[in-house]
Structure 1
Amino acid sequence: MKRIEIRYGGDSYSIGGREPGELMEAIAQAVDSGGAWLEVNDGEGQQRTAFIHVAPGTPIALILMPGSEGGPSDG
């Protein structure tokens, strides 16, 4: 299972169980469509479900957590 940290709006979130390439494609589709909501986890320890709005011009970073693989260079 993959765990990906997301930096968005100065805050950190995470997503588990998704491949990095799949997540990058979902973000690209959100941007291409003018914007969409992405379900993420918020919080340390007891996580809460959160939604972030991804749209054109929105800075977002994906960080693969140790032990995760499957980023853009993996094909």
Structure 2
Amino acid sequence: KLKSLKERLLDGGMITKKQLSAMLGVCRTTIGKLRRQGRLKARICNDQGEWLYWPPEQISPLAASPAESTEPRVTSTAGDAV
């Protein structure tokens, strides 16, 4: 029987959000935020929206730092115009 994509990725060294959050000492919500900001390298592994992550030794120190992103943020303006 062919293993699922998730099983193959885990066998290949990727880790779950729960494992990564324990390794970095942050909550799982933070892991998702860092992934969306592009600070963590991850791959979706099933149709349920579950992600797997590369281990910390393959993540740049910047990704694991709790500092805020230096990119400018767009704020709302009057009348919702941008």
Q: Which has more radius of gyration?
A: 2
| Length-normalised TM-score, structure 1 | 0.29
TM-score after normalising by structure 2: 0.27
Greater fraction of residues in helix: 2
